[in-house]
A and B are shown apart, each in its own frame.
Chain A
Amino acid sequence: MGADELLPRVADGDQGAFEDLYGLVSGQVYGLVRRVLRDPAQSEEVAQEVLLELWRGAGRFDPERGSALAWILTLAHRRAVDRVRSARAASDREERVARRAQTPPFDQVAEEVEAGLEREWVRRCLDRLTALQRQSVTLAYYDGYTYREVAHRLSVPLGTVKTRMRDGLMRLRDCLGGGAA
């Protein structure tokens, strides 16, 4: 049974369905949260929070708005981004003078060697974007920066970043084609 069938059962209080759903999505939820947060302990905490929220809020899922997996991963991504931003705000306060010279995490995606067809395919397609499109997309999605922060980090105007994000995603779509999503 897929997530689309399981989630409505979870909404009805079916704990067995939740266990199946956990088996199906926990790796994807944790992996995504971890990609954004990096820190394993914090990632686990946020992933647990997301999974519990799936149980509590399964009734909020509306199949007309998209697939269950999209809903779940959107939730996971937003929670991870919220956490990374509040952590950043806290550390910015603590070390206001901190050097900005840390390694730019731009091409983290390309460093991931772990195989997996989807991963490999997405990586290849990200490589086909222009550098600015790729950096705009990955700094936002995998590092949790707002588009204003991305513009600042890349020293380009806001309008450019907005456009690169949209164009980058659309070009990614062309490259990925209609493959399994």
Chain B
Amino acid sequence: MNLPLRPHSLAGPYALDALDGRELHRFERHLSRCARCRDQVRALQTDTLRLARAASGTAPAGMRERVLTAVRITAQETVPRPAGARRAPRLVPVAAAAATLALIAAALLGVQLSRTQERLDREQAQARAIAQVLAAPDSRATGERFPDGSTVVVVSSPNLRRAVVTVTGLQDPPSGKDHQLWLAGAGKPRSLGLLNGEEPLVARDLGGPGGALAVTAEPDGGSPSPTGRPLVQLALESTVFGK
């Protein structure tokens, strides 16, 4: 890649977010040393703000509830502010490990965190399934944080008959056991699958009136019906999975 000899000529592309890769990093390094360029970029960013505002629209109605639910269960970053230290001009991405609950909120909102390559395919399929539920026009969120610090969050779409269930903050199951998620309704509890750590689980073919979600520790690989006592339980309103 031919890098320009006069990097400050990149102020326009930078203000428009039209740089990427090495060129972006290089220009940002240059910015930290060039006060004139910072002024120029700042002025140009005022112009791009006008372009941004001209694109204003109306957020989808269901988004508010989902975001506010995510906010209720998501810890904030703590930002150390070293006195006198210059901040990097570009926004730093959210550090994935910063908060315990970031993973579930991320999953809730379909954020892809960086993972090892071999997990990506499976997670992408999972992420698509999750995104599909989240983007369904009828999707709704519910959740609860328990006194022991564990949380259960459910985002469901009655039309798709699917829900994304995320359980966090549970102690690891004893060795030789797995956490299994159940839907307890009028009849026999139905297994929704095994929980893999704090990864969200996509429950399919849901329907009928509410009931309750429960997690139990079951012998490795799960059981046909629950044998352990519920570790967490979340009562569902009848509307969660449709009538």
Say if A and B assemble together. yes
> A161: shortest Cβ distance to chain B, in Å?
8
Contact of B71 among A34, A52, A159, A176 (CB under 8 A): A52
Contact partners of B71 in chain A: CB under 8 A: 15, 18, 52, 55
Q: Provided the pairs A49-B109, A56-B94 are in contact, do residues A162 and B55 lie with their beta carbons within 8 angstroms? A: no
Q: Are A28 and B52 in contact (CB under 8 A)?
A: yes
One of B47, B79, B109 near A52 (C-beta < 8 A): B109
Say whether B68 faces chain A, with CB atoms less than 8 Å apart. yes
Determine whether A123 belongs to the interface, using a CB cutoff of 8 Å to chain B. Answer: yes
- CB-defined contacts of A44 to chain B, threshold 8 Å: 60, 63, 134-135
A-B contact count (CB 8 A): 214
- CA of A11 to CA of B78, assembled, Å: 9
Pairwise interchain contact A70-B45, C-beta atoms closer than 8 A:
yes
Contacts of B44 in A (CB 8 A): 166, 169-170
**Complex Cα spacing A69 to B46, Å:** 11
Shortest Cβ gap from A142 to chain B (Å):
7
- A60:B12 contact, CB within 8 angstroms: no
Is B236's CB within 8 Å of the partner chain A? Answer: no
- Chain B 1-37 per-residue mask, 1 if CB under 8 angstroms from chain A, else 0: 0001000011111011111100000000000000000
The complex places the Cα of A173 from the Cα of B15 at a distance, in Å, of 13
Shortest Cβ gap from A1 to chain B (Å): 18
Across the two chains, which residue of chain A brings its CB closest to B92?
A60
Instruction: List A contacts of B64 (CB < 8 A).
Output: 22, 26
Closest Cβ of chain B to A167, distance in Å, is 8
- Please provide the 7 A-B residue pairs with the shortest distance between their CB atoms, ordered closest to farther: A31-B57, A166-B12, A165-B12, A59-B79, A122-B54, A140-B18, A41-B135
Chain A interface residues (CB < 8 Å from chain B): 11, 13, 15, 18-19, 22, 26-32, 34-35, 40-41, 44-45, 47-49, 51-53, 55-60, 62, 65-66, 69-71, 73-78, 81, 85, 109, 116, 118-119, 121-123, 137, 140-142, 144-147, 150, 158-159, 161-170, 172-173, 176, 181
Measuring CB to CB, which residues of chain B are less than 8 angstroms from any residue of chain A? 4, 9-13, 15-20, 42-60, 63-64, 66-68, 70-72, 74-79, 87, 91-92, 94, 98-99, 102, 105, 109-111, 131, 134-135
